[in-house]
Amino acid sequence: MKTLENKVAIVTGAGSGIGREVAIKYAAEGANVVVADIDEKGGNETVSLIRKNSGEATFIKSDSSKPSECQSLVEQTVKRYGGLQVACNNAGIGGPSAPTGEYPIDAWDKVISINLSGVFYGMRYQIPAMLKSNGGTIVNMASILGQVGFRNSTAYVSAKHGVIGLTQNAALEYASNNIRVNAVGPGFIMTLLLTKNMSDEAIKSLAGLHPIGRLGKPEEVAELVLWLSSSKASFVTGSYYTIDGGYLAQ
């Protein structure tokens, strides 16, 4: 039997990168997957990839920084598939590079609204639906920068630190309700979000920060998310798992 057979899952930011790989792996393990993203083209491409492999998926356009859209996403999911048991709150952005004393206020607000508030809004509506489904699992996408600093990334670092605290708090509150909540902390992963404005030299330099000698792959992160989302991780909640090629061991 597949590990997510007949489960209903939401993946935010699933139009590309890590989110897309998570959605694909969820579907391959039997889940009915709702692919959520503001990018309609990317989201529909993810759905097509899943269906080509005989999986079940639906795209719903949703902005994770807007509470009403997070609520609607859950409501539409439950209406279509009858419940909700799995969620991966993955949607996020990087933000501009600037020191704290010069960081643009509007950029701070945008990064926090998507990377931190968006995770809260997601759980705010996912958890009640999971309670009605007799439990579930949530995986929130943090970062290695949820544990350490990184110059000129003050909003991103702050948001990811917040995601870990938010994850731990929710895990404590709902452990007795059969809802597990965990966070994943990827190192630098080879995604368009990371590399679209970077030179080959800059990418090589960034890869060199990892003792393993390369950037991570989205599918490698998705494997960890899948495990945490399955019954194989049934005793795991309130945890923060890094997948970083040794970055934080230095």
Report the alpha-carbon distance of residue 50 to residue 48 in Å, rounded: 5
What strand order describes the sheet that includes 56-61?
Answer: 56-61, 32-37, 8-12, 86-89, 136-141, 179-186, 240-243
156 is an active site residue:
yes
Q: What residues are paired with 241 via a beta bridge?
A: 184
Report the alpha-carbon distance of residue 8 to residue 28 in Å, rounded: 13
| Cβ atoms of residues 111 and 93 within 8 Å | yes
Catalytic member of 26, 121, 125, 156: 156
Within 10 Å of residue 5's Cβ, how many Cβ atoms? 9
Within 10 Å of residue 133's Cβ, how many Cβ atoms? 18
Residue 154's identity, in one-letter code, is T
Joined tokens for residue 38: 């503001």
For 76-210, strand residue ranges (E) read: 86-89, 136-141, 179-186
| Cβ neighbours of residue 101 closer than 8 Å, sequence gap 6 or more | none
| Cβ neighbours of residue 173 closer than 8 Å, sequence gap 6 or more | none
Q: What residues are paired with 153 via a beta bridge?
A: 98
Give the catalytic positions in this structure.
156
